[in-house]
Amino acid sequence: MAESSGEPSAGKPSVLFVCVHNAGRSQMAAAWLTHLAGDRVEVRSAGSNPGDAVNPAAVEAMAEVGIDISAATPKILTVDDVRESDVCITMGCGDTCPVFPGKRYLDWQLADPAGRGVAAVRPIRDEIKTLVEDLIAEIVPEDKA
């Protein structure tokens, strides 16, 4: 089989999380994947219309589980982000991801935490964790050397 260009580094899966503002869901998902998979996965997040800052309720909800996303900043989605990722996961931004052959696309139906307090964000955070755990089981090889 021919290797495609834009392929991520040596066998390490690459995941891109996309939501509209890159301020809540995609930031929490990227943080969970980094926290749970460590360096076994390359993680990116971006937004189709990025906000000015990460949602403070998302920062607080993640801090409650020991994950600090306070330094994260929303980033604009680029074609290269998608090209360089094996799996592209959208969260409420419809068809904003460019489609490339050979990539896996998923759409996670999650409530938008924008403008909501931490009590409303906690269940979203926990649902994202479950989805990320399932994703890790699918894409990360089980070599526990």
- Give the residue numbers annotated as catalytic, written as ranges: 19, 93, 97
Q: Is 116 exposed, middle or buried (0-12, 13-18, 19+ CB in 10 A)?
A: middle
Give Cα separations from 57 to 45, 116, 128 (angstroms).
18, 7, 15
Give the largest Cα separation in the chain, rounded: 49
CA 75 to chain CA centroid, nearest Å: 12
Sheet holding 14-19, edge to edge: 42-47, 14-19, 87-90, 104-107
